[in-house]
């Protein structure tokens, strides 16, 4: 991507106060450090199971949440750590969840793939591709019926766009004019299959036409472009004009999950996208527009790393759930008849 | 809570469909969060005329026709329940819920648990179920055991108009997802129904007929068939106790076990496919308990045949338990012929 032409101030710099921009970069750095920390814990055998890293996709998660408040909702995906942190989750409770601890967001019952922070409006990551799409529409239906004024941002990946749930959800959101923003994070692969081989349309946002809503494809590694598109869609939703589909073209530089051997893509391709890393781009934008200095960025990065390290340490020593509680929370009112 | 909540209203004769509509009318009228969702439930009144004219009273925003999108529609209901509404979602036929298994089984049933108790999903689903209408294999199934196998769900099966209303209102009070399987052959059946608000407890069976010679544990329409069989058996001097399970998850273990301790014989009757069905669970409950020591004969199951529901009316009748078969099985069991 070319540098911003002189005199052409990016949307983000025009739209947000410097504190908000610095906070956005801080969150992007925190997401990156969080996932690198989680990955390292996994490699060291401290965390079991699997995880899906979004390294390289941070601009999409943070940019899409810029104009959301705690009352606004998001639904997230199996690659949802970034969404969770972008919506305001704390590192300590997230790591506690990754370590399966009672102090985690899901009391150790959900792990990476079901991370949620309902108090901050994150209705949860989802282990089923496309699972969150109809749920997001339901959340938007609640907001409309109850008159809360809240919007719902529905994150999903390119893989989900070929699920029936995607089409059913977009159609219903449109016929009922619901305040939901569908944010597709097109990282170009559904596990191993590239979108060119899985998806009949060139751009996933082209599918918006079929559901009579605005659709736009943009550089998902450009924080400002993401924020601009989503802010516009949020305003449209709040005004009662219905849903939008935004496609953030991005890339995960890590594999699909821990079992991925990267047989379906080349080192050159990964290197190319690594150069398009959204975090240095965001930092450069903020430095070049005087929002912060390079020294500030370095300090911010170091602080994020410290926060991650202490989060991991706290999680390691946090209490495990009791085995006797394995069947707790299946139902709201626990009864022996249900065991 | 073992009995219905206090009933103050007068008792009227209503059909099963009318009693369900009455429950939804009460819910819509008293709680703004309640919405009905489903295919053709608006001006059409529902495929079985259960919602009837409710759309004219409450409007299209609260009696919502959905597109023919079972997966998406069910998911919208899940998301709405998660965020403050109290949806009642109607599947046109219970068979169509198979299109929505993802949202029911992976999402509605598990969200509370996966999120460590941070949320609940107060969702009610209504599923017209069962055979006997000539609608063949894809519109006649009894799938309650499928959903009964999923922790996080509750599964009810009213067999009377009175319970149809009470269980639906109880389901709406419940903070967790409740699936109500309504037998299609019962929609026009009339029975006494109290007016006004009352609930029938989820997880409590009803003893429809007390007896001493054997226990017949049955669900849905089979409880009515068992009652009919019990009348003939009584003429022969066989005193059958008939238990209507009413809910299969949670299943009322105590009522069944107490009955078997008294009668010493157990016949399970259910329309769903026999293998791995509701009767298997009831049988195992007894076999694993002290009630086993009271048995004077083997446990007998009458269930659906191991085939899809056929179209031909004679075949259709033959593949699910009917009254004569229940009488024969009960007689043989009571007389020690099995």
Is there a contact between A143 and B33 if contact means CB atoms under 8 Å apart? Answer: no
Q: pLDDT digits over A257-274, tens only?
A: 878 888 999 999 999 999
State the nearest Cα–Cα gap between A277 and chain B, in angstroms: 32
Q: What does the pLDDT read at residue A297?
A: 98
**Among the partner residues A73, A114, A133, nearest to B114 by beta-carbon distance:** A114
The band of A24, judged by pLDDT with boundaries at 50, 70 and 90, is very high
Candidates A282, A308, A292, A324; CA nearest to A57 is: A282
Residues of chain B with CATH 3.40.50.970: 11-194
Q: What is the pLDDT along chain B (338 residues), one digit of tens a residue?
A: 446 787 777 999 999 999 999 999 999 999 999 999 999 999 999 999 999 999 999 999 999 999 999 999 999 999 999 999 999 999 999 999 999 999 999 999 999 999 999 999 999 999 999 999 999 999 999 999 999 999 999 999 999 999 999 999 999 999 999 999 999 999 999 999 999 999 999 999 999 999 999 999 999 999 999 999 999 999 999 999 999 999 999 999 999 999 999 999 999 999 999 999 999 999 999 999 999 999 999 999 999 999 999 999 999 999 999 999 999 999 999 999 88
Is there a contact between A128 and B102 if contact means CB atoms under 8 Å apart? Answer: yes
Question: How do beta strands B11-15 and B178-183 pair?
Answer: unpaired
A162's tokens: 């070929």
Interface contacts (A, B; CB < 8 Å): 162
B56: annotated active-site residue: no
CB A325 within 8 Å of CB A50: no
Residue B271: φ, ψ to 5°: -80, -30
Segment 232-251 of chain A within 8 Å of chain B by CB: none
Residues of A in Cβ contact (< 8 Å) with B69: 168, 171-172
Is there a contact between B119 and A73 if contact means CB atoms under 8 Å apart? Answer: no
A169 at B interface, C-beta within 8 A: yes
Question: How do beta strands B240-244 and B214-218 pair?
Answer: parallel
**Among the partner residues B76, B152, B250, nearest to A134 by beta-carbon distance:** B76
Most A CBs within 10 A among B37, B61, B118, B249, hence the mutation to make, goes to B118
Q: What is the ipTM of this complex?
A: 0.95
Q: Check: CATH 2.40.110.10 for B11-194?
A: no
Is there a contact between B74 and A134 if contact means CB atoms under 8 Å apart? Answer: yes
3-state secondary structure of A277: coil
Topology of domain B206-334 in CATH is Rossmann fold (3.40.50)
Residues of B in Cβ contact (< 8 Å) with A146: 33, 84-85
Q: pLDDT digits over A82-91, tens only?
A: 999 999 999 9
Provide the sign of the torsion angle of the four alpha carbons A262, A266, A269, A275, taken in this order: positive
- CA B292, CA A139: separation in Å to the nearest integer? 49
Is there a contact between B115 and A141 if contact means CB atoms under 8 Å apart? Answer: no
- Chain A residue whose CA is closest to B107: A131
Candidates B271, B54, B290, B263; CA nearest to B145 is: B271
CB A182 within 8 Å of CB A152: no
Q: pLDDT digits over A158-196, tens only?
A: 999 999 999 999 999 999 999 999 999 999 999 999 999
- CA B279, CA A91: separation in Å to the nearest integer? 49
Q: pLDDT digits over A286-308, tens only?
A: 999 999 999 999 999 999 999 99
A154's tokens: 């529905």
Helices and strands, number each (H, E), in chain A: 12, 7
Is there a contact between A104 and B116 if contact means CB atoms under 8 Å apart? Answer: yes
Q: pLDDT digits over A58-99, tens only?
A: 999 999 999 999 999 999 999 999 999 999 999 999 999 999
Q: What does the pLDDT read at residue A337?
A: 63
State the nearest Cα–Cα gap between A51 and chain B, in angstroms: 16
**Among the partner residues B74, B76, B176, nearest to A141 by beta-carbon distance:** B76
- CA B247, CA B220: separation in Å to the nearest integer? 9
How far the first Cα of chain A sits from its last, in Å, is 57
B228: annotated active-site residue: no
Q: Name the catalytic one among B18, B39, B90, B139.
A: B139
User: Can the peptide bond before residue B250 be classed as cis, meaning omega within 30 degrees of 0?
Assistant: yes
3-state secondary structure of A71: coil
**Among the partner residues B33, B74, B82, nearest to A139 by beta-carbon distance:** B82
DSSP annotation of A3 reads P
Segment 276-335 of chain A within 8 Å of chain B by CB: 327-333, 335
Q: What does the pLDDT read at residue B4?
A: 79
State the nearest Cα–Cα gap between A118 and chain B, in angstroms: 7
Most A CBs within 10 A among B37, B58, B70, B76, hence the mutation to make, goes to B76
Segment 106-165 of chain A within 8 Å of chain B by CB: 106-110, 114, 116, 118, 123-124, 126-128, 131, 133-143, 145-146, 148, 164-165
Provide the sign of the torsion angle of the four alpha carbons B271, B277, B278, B282, taken in this order: positive
- Chain A residue whose CA is closest to B122: A332
Q: pLDDT digits over B129-142, tens only?
A: 999 999 999 999 99
CB A14 within 8 Å of CB A272: no
Question: How do beta strands B247-249 and B154-156 pair?
Answer: antiparallel
Candidates B185, B121, B109; CA nearest to B146 is: B109
**Among the partner residues B61, B75, B249, nearest to A134 by beta-carbon distance:** B75
A244 sits in which H/E element: strand A244-249
Asked if residue A7 has pLDDT above 70, the reply is no
Q: Name the catalytic one among B70, B90, B144, B316.
A: B70
Any idea how long chain B is?
A: 338
The 3-class SS string of chain B reads CCCCCCCCCCEEEEEHHHHHHHHHHHHHHHCCCEEEEECCCCCCCCCCCCCCCHHHHHCCCCEEECCCCHHHHHHHHHHHHHCCCEEEEECCCHHHHHHHHHHHHHHHCCHHHHCCCCCCCCCEEEEEECCCCCCCCCCCCCCHHHHHCCCCCEEECCCCHHHHHHHHHHHHHCCCCEEEEEEHHHCCCEEEEECCCCCCCCCCCEEEECCCCEEEEECCHHHHHHHHHHHHHHHCCCCEEEEECCEEECECHHHHHHHHHHHCCEEEEEEEECCCCHHHHHHHHHHCCHHHHHCCCCCEEEEECCCCCCCCHHHHHHCCCCHHHHHHHHHHHHCCCC
Residues of chain B with CATH 3.40.50.920: 206-334
Is there a contact between A139 and B67 if contact means CB atoms under 8 Å apart? Answer: no
**Among the partner residues A123, A327, A332, nearest to B82 by beta-carbon distance:** A123
Q: Domain A28-316 has what CATH class?
A: alpha beta
């Amino acid at each position: 991507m070319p540098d911003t032409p002189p005199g052409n101030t990016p949307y983000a710099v025009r739209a947000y106060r410097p504190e908000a921009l610095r906070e956005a970069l801080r969150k992007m750095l925190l997401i990156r450090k969080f996932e690198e920390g989680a990955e390292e814990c996994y490699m060291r055998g401290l965390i079991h199971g699997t995880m899906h890293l979004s390294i390289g996709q941070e601009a999409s998660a943070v940019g899409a949440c810029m104009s959301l408040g705690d009352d606004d909702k998001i639904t997230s995906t199996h690659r949802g750590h970034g969404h969770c942190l972008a919506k305001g989750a704390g590192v300590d409770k997230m790591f506690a969840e990754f370590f399966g601890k009672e102090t985690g967001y899901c009391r150790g019952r959900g792990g990476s793939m079901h991370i949620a922070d309902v108090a901050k409006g994150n209705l949860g990551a989802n282990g089923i591709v496309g699972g969150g799409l109809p749920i997001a529409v339901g959340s938007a239906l609640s907001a409309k019926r109850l008159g809360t004024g809240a919007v719902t941002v529905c994150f999903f990946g390119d893989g989900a766009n070929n699920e029936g749930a995607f089409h059913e959800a977009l159609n219903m959101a449109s016929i009922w004019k619901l305040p939901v923003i569908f944010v597709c994070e097109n990282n170009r692969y559904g596990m191993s299959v590239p979108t060119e081989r899985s998806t009949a349309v060139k751009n996933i946002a082209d599918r918006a036409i079929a559901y009579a809503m605005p659709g736009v494809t943009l550089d998902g590694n450009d924080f400002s472009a993401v924020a601009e598109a989503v802010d516009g869609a949020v305003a449209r939703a709040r005004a009662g004009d219905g849903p939008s589909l935004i496609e953030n073209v991005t890339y995960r530089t890590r594999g699909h999950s821990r079992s991925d051997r990267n047989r379906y893509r080349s080192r050159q391709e990964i290197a190319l996208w690594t150069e398009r890393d959204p975090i240095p781009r965001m930092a450069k934008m903020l430095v070049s527009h005087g929002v912060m200095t390079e020294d500030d960025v370095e300090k911010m990065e170091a602080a994020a790393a410290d926060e991650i390290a202490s989060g991991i340490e706290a999680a390691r020593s946090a209490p495990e759930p009791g085995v006797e509680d394995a069947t707790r929370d299946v139902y709201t009112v626990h009864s022996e008849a249900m065991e | 809570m073992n009995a219905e909540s206090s009933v103050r209203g007068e008792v009227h004769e209503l059909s099963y469909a009318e009693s369900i509509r009455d429950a939804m009318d009460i819910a819509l009228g008293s709680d703004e969060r309640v919405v009905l969702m489903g295919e053709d439930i608006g001006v059409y009144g529902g495929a079985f005329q259960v919602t009837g004219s409710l759309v004219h009273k409450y409007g299209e925003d609260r009696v919502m026709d959905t597109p023919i999108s079972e997966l998406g529609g069910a998911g919208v209901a899940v998301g709405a329940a998660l965020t403050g509404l109290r949806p009642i979602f109607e599947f046109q036929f219970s068979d169509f819920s198979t299109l929505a298994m993802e949202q029911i089984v992976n999402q509605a049933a598990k969200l509370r648990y996966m999120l460590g108790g941070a949320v609940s999903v107060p969702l009610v689903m209504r599923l017209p179920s069962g055979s006997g209408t000539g609608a063949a294999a894809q519109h006649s199934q009894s799938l309650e055991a499928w959903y009964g196998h999923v922790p996080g769900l509750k599964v009810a099966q009213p067999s009377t108009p009175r319970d149809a209303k009470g269980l639906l209102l109880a389901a709406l009070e419940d903070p967790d997802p409740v699936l109500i399987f309504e037998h299609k052959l019962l929609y026009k059946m009339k029975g006494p129904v109290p007016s006004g608000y009352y609930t029938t407890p989820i997880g409590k069976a009803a003893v429809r007929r007390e007896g001493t010679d054997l226990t017949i544990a049955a669900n849905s329409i089979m409880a009515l068939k068992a009652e009919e069989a019990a009348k003939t058996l009584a003429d022969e001097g066989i005193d059958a106790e008939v238990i209507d399970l009413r809910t299969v998850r949670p299943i009322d273990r105590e009522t069944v076990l107490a009955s078997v301790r008294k009668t010493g014989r157990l016949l399970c009757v259910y329309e769903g496919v026999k293998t791995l069905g509701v009767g298997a669970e009831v049988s195992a409950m007894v076999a694993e308990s002290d009630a086993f020591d009271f048995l004077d004969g083997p446990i007998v199951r009458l269930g659906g045949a191991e085939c899809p529901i056929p179209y031909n009316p004679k075949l259709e009748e033959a593949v699910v338990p009917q009254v004569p078969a229940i009488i024969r099985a009960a007689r043989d069991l009571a007389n020690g012929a099995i």
